Structure 1
Amino acid sequence: MKTIVICSGGLDSVSLAHLVAEQGALSRLVSFDYGQRHRKELEFATACARRLAVPHHLIDMRGIGASLTGSALTDSIDVPDGHYAEETMKITVVPNRNAIMLSIAYGIAAANGDDAVATAVHGGDHFIYPDCRPGFTEAFDKMQRAALEGYAEVALYTPFVRRTKADIVTEGARVKTPFGETWSCYKGGAQHCGRCGTCVERREAFYLAGIPDPTIYDDRDYWRQAISSREDV
């Protein structure tokens, strides 16, 4: 089965790319520049495509992204510190982002004769991002099958949608994902800040998986405080 992987350059999607490659099904990667402040992640997506020796489609969505206002990922709004499950993290939602990206990925898959589109949405995303939940992915898969009926058969592959970030780290390690060559931080600095929701989640995932975290953080220990404050709620 030829599978295109949506790859942001983050830990989840790069691990997914390596998993699909290990299965012998990886056909290409597709990434999206929607004007995100942490677009440096796209460099890691490009490096992943080179490492796995597959084509890389980098889609310029900056014109669209400029209209998806109100998110700390696209506007001049401070990215909050803390646990991913905090209410404050909803400021990082980019409206309908996954639906838009998936639609484009399905078009690329159909045009190139691919059998599936893979995305690394996972259980840890469900609280904040409605377009990462099983209800959305199942409905989207059904919609796209109708959209391509009689032209192409493309399935949606979401192996992590009901699994945790720690599960992804475990699976990524199994397929030898180079975690140090992935980018998660929402603040887009010289190195991971260690304080934003995705840094806290990343740090926690390695801890729960029992796998050494090679990431360099500005604040390597903040995650413990963030987890503790969440548990006290």
Structure 2
Amino acid sequence: MGLKEWIVPQDKVFFDLFEKQADTVNEGAMLLHALVNDYVDVKNQCHKIKEIEHKGDEIAHEVYEQLNLTFITPLEPEEISRLATALDDVLDYIDGTTQQMYGYGVTETDDLMRELARLIYLSTQEIQTAVRLIRTMDDPRAVEKHCIEINRLENLADAVLADAIKNLFSTNDAITIIKLKDIYENLEEATDKCEDVANVLSDIAIRHS
């Protein structure tokens, strides 16, 4: 065992959990993407997303439990807590928005919802890759590269939301405006939460570079 291995904690449980959490977030985003592109059997599709959200909660809870039990951690405790929370938030917004769509009685999706769901899915794929890179931190710049891409995708989502709101207020159906505005904003908020994950990952990369 080298000096670095002796000094740096070798407990990899947190990296295992983060990778599971990132995979679960991506699975939720994939199901969201499928839902808005094939808007049938909505109740069942939303139920599947809810199950994924519960799975994500369980993983996040396990991270917090391990943090309470572990005296020396491979990352700063605050970094571990922030990352677990940020990942969980993405999944919460994915689930919350789909439940909202079902609860509001939305009968069909549109191009703007599909584009926002696509950007969420692309963002979670970038998260998956970046999270795996922090296990060894061999190339912090590679982590930063994925974080920059997540930020770019979030900026695109901002533009989509602006167009969506503009289009909404060119109509006169107040109830539809309220419903769709909530859905568009929450889909965009999911990309904001992806950006929060990227910010935590970027901070970790900088500290370990």
TM-score bracket for this pair, using the shorter chain length: under 0.3
What is the TM-score with the length of structure 1 in the denominator? 0.23
Higher relative contact order (CA 8 A, sep 6+): 2
The structure in which a higher percent of residues are strand is 1
Q: If you compute each CA radius of gyration, which structure gives the higher value, 1 or 2?
A: 2
